[in-house]
Amino acid sequence: MEGDDLALVPADAQGFGCIRVADLWKTPAMQKAIAKRDDAGARFEQETGLRPEQVERLSGVTVDSENRTGWIIVRTLMPYDVRKVLSCLEGRREIPYDHNHYHVSKTPDGSTRALYFAGTRVIVAGTETGVKHCLDFVKRGPVTGPLEPIIALAAEGKHTAVAGVFPPGALLRVTPITLTGITQITATADVSETVVLDAKAQLISQEAAKKTIQILKVAKAAAALAQLRGGEAAEKTAAIAGLLDKINVVQKGNEIFATARIDDGSVAEALLEVSRVLR
């Protein structure tokens, strides 16, 4: 498995998303976002043993959201330096597991981090439970499921980022609001001079879609009000309010389409922050 990172994504998982980190890193929007943060690349390298421009694709998989079980998959453009990646793991130990082995270490907050070297260009990272789930999936073999079109879209490499979420029980919790009736969400992000976000949510009925639109309007108003009040609440909701203000939402039957065109670099920086989960 020299570079087949997407073979480690179960098509029946609850959620999957990937970011083309190297492509993102060199875009004008990304460079604009990090212009005042010249340590961004160094921080990424310190935490992962890799430079952002080395990472072709970084993917996240969720198989059990209730128990926060999933894993991160990194695919590099060229073979990575195993020793350099391992140097980021303090007090690491090698653990045998079903004819394979992975490495574990403790993070600064006391949790356990695990790494599995799946090939010369592929690394799996996450909690020990998550990495074991990935290895179990590899042993069982490919499965079919609703994520197949999203995985195929990621393989095409036409978008900077793609994601698909299939909430169990049609329930999705988005702090500080609850959205019900959603059966699936798909999204893409394209980054160049600006950031273009496109998302689609499918709901169980037209009425559920209408109610969701209303909830989003309330959330937008609440975020704006929190900003006016100032204090800690304003800091926490500033990014949410700014993003909600830029999103254009349209309902068509039981589907909701959301688009946004953002040129301030904030989303590009946010995508890079997401890609720093390998730590």
Helix (H, G, I), strand (E, B) or coil at 144: coil
Regarding predicted confidence, which is higher, 265 or 7? 7
- The model's confidence at residue 30, banded by pLDDT at 50, 70 and 90, is confident
The answer, yes or no, to whether residue 265 has pLDDT greater than 70, is no
Angle at 23 between CA 74 and CA 53, to 5 degrees: 60
Most confident of the following: 32-41, 146-155, 217-226? 146-155
Regarding predicted confidence, which is higher, 232 or 19? 19
pLDDT of residue 174: 46
The answer, yes or no, to whether residue 24 has pLDDT greater than 70, is yes
Q: Are 33 and 265 in contact (CB under 8 A)?
A: yes
Over residues 69-94, the pLDDT tens digits come to: 999 999 999 999 999 999 888 889 99
pLDDT of residue 269: 61
Domain encompassing residue 234: 5-277
- The radius of gyration of the chain from alpha carbons, rounded to an integer in Å, stands at 19
Q: Are 260 and 247 in contact (CB under 8 A)?
A: yes
Structural domain total, the chain = 1
Greatest CA span in the chain, whole angstroms?
Answer: 58
Over residues 100-148, the pLDDT tens digits come to: 999 999 877 777 899 999 999 999 999 999 999 999 999 999 999 999 9
Q: What is the per-residue DSSP string for 158-219?
A: -SSEEEEE--GGGEEEETTEEEESEEEEEEEEEESSSEEEEEEEEESSHHHHHHHHHHHHHH
What is the mean predicted confidence (pLDDT) over 224-242?
A: 56
Regarding predicted confidence, which is higher, 266 or 124? 124
Q: Which residues contact 38 (CB under 8 A, 6 or more apart)?
A: none
Which pTM value belongs to this model?
Answer: 0.84
pLDDT of residue 90: 84
pLDDT of residue 68: 86
Over residues 166-184, the pLDDT tens digits come to: 875 434 554 445 566 888 9
> What is the average pLDDT score of the chain?
83
